[in-house]
Amino acid sequence: MSEALVTAAPARRPIGAARFLRRNARIAIGGGIVLLMIVLAAAAPLVAGDPNSMNPMIRLEAPSAQYWFGTDNLGRDVFARTLYGGQVSLAIGFSVAILAVAGGILIGLLAGYYRRVDALVMRVMDGLMAIPAILLAIALVALTSGGIVIVVIAILLPELPREVRLVRAIVLSAREQPFVEAAIAGGARTRKILIRHILPSTFAPLTVQGTYVCASSILVEAALSFLGAGVPPSIPTWGNMIASSQLYLGLAPWTIFFPGVALAVLVLAVNLLGDGLRDWLDPRLSRRQ
C-alpha cells in the first residue's frame, strides 16, 4: 500500500509506463480488458459475419469451430451478435459518462458558486434521484418511438444528480481556500475564478466518478434492452440477445451464457478501472476503502 502512496504524485515525478502499470494493477487489468473489448467491438465487421443473417438450417447449434459461440433460435451467429452488441454497450456507457460529467460540471459549478440557484437546483436533483432509472426509461420509451438518443437521455437523467452533488461539494470547499480568496481579492472575474481556479480540482474525482457512471450505464442499458424498452430490437445488444433467447435456456444455454459473460466482464473491468483510478488519484481515500 505504501508503494501505491508514493505513486500518488506521478505528475511531478514521471515514472515508466511499465512500472506505473505494475504498481497500479487494477488500472492495468481493468483498463486492459476495456481496451480489448473496444478493439473487439470495433473490429466486429472484420472478424465476424452479419449479426442479423438468419439461417433456419442451423438453429440452436452448439458452439463449434465454425460458430464459436453457437447459433440462436433463428440461426443467427451468437459470436457476431456478441461482438456487435459490445458496440452498443460501449457507445452508450461512454456517451452517458461523458454527458454526465459535462452536465455535472456545468450545473454543479453554478449551484456551488451562486447560492441563490443552489437550493432550487439541489431539490430538483433530489427529485430526479428518487425516480428509478429503469422506470423513467420505460416511461420515455412508451411515450416516444424510442431509439438510442431516448435511451441515453433516460439513463443520463437519474445519473446526473450524483455528479452535480460531487462538483458542488468541491466548489463549496474550494471557495473557502486561500487561493480562491486571493483571486477574489485580486479582482478576478467570477467566470475566471470558476474556470481557472476551481474547475481543475474537480478533474480527479470526476474521472473516477465518470468511470463508475460508465459501468452503471452499461448495466442499465442492458436491462432496458432486456425489458424491450431499449434500443430498437433490430440492433443486436447483449440485453435483447438474452431476452430473445430466454425460452431456450434449457436447450441452448450458450445463447444466454456468452452475452451474459461479456456483460459481466465488461462492467467488472470498468469498475476495476474506477477503483484503480481512485487509488491512484486519491490515495487518502484508498486507505480507508
Please return the burial class of 16, using the count of CB atoms within 10 Å of its CB with bins 0-12, 13-18 and 19+.
exposed
196 CB contacts (<8 Å, ≥6 apart)? Answer: 183, 188
Considering beta carbons, is residue 38 or 153 the nearer one to other proteins? 153
Partners of residue 71 on adjacent β-strands:
77
Considering beta carbons, is residue 41 or 215 the nearer one to other proteins? 215
Rounded to a whole number of angstroms, the minimum distance from the CB of residue 254 to other proteins is 11
Considering beta carbons, is residue 138 or 184 the nearer one to other proteins? 138
Q: How far is residue 8's CA from residue 84's CA, in Å, rounded to a whole number?
A: 38
Q: Do 33 and 266 touch, CB atoms closer than 8 A?
A: yes
> 94 by DSSP, 3-state: which?
helix
Q: Which three cell numbers stand for residue 34?
A: 476495456
Rounded to a whole number of angstroms, the minimum distance from the CB of residue 184 to other proteins is 31
Write down the residue that cell numbers 458452439 correspond to. 63
Write down the residue that cell numbers 514521471 correspond to. 14
Rounded to a whole number of angstroms, the minimum distance from the CB of residue 34 to other proteins is 13
Considering beta carbons, is residue 112 or 239 the nearer one to other proteins? 239
Rounded to a whole number of angstroms, the minimum distance from the CB of residue 137 to other proteins is 9
Q: How far is residue 183's CA from residue 102's CA, in Å, rounded to a whole number?
A: 25
Considering beta carbons, is residue 43 or 149 the nearer one to other proteins? 149
Residues that bind other proteins (CB under 8 A): 123-124, 126-136, 138-145, 215, 219-220, 222-223, 226-229, 239, 242, 246, 249-250, 253, 256, 260-261, 263-264, 267-268, 271-272, 275, 288-289
Considering beta carbons, is residue 83 or 150 the nearer one to other proteins? 150
Q: How far is residue 154's CA from residue 220's CA, in Å, rounded to a whole number?
A: 10
Partners of residue 77 on adjacent β-strands:
71
Considering beta carbons, is residue 41 or 150 the nearer one to other proteins? 150
Rounded to a whole number of angstroms, the minimum distance from the CB of residue 135 to other proteins is 5
Rounded to a whole number of angstroms, the minimum distance from the CB of residue 236 to other proteins is 16
Q: How far is residue 25's CA from residue 273's CA, in Å, rounded to a whole number?
A: 9
Q: Do 111 and 118 touch, CB atoms closer than 8 A?
A: yes
Helical packing angle, 115-130 and 148-175, nearest 10°:
140
Rounded to a whole number of angstroms, the minimum distance from the CB of residue 193 to other proteins is 30
Q: How far is residue 222's CA from residue 146's CA, in Å, rounded to a whole number?
A: 15
Rounded to a whole number of angstroms, the minimum distance from the CB of residue 247 to other proteins is 11
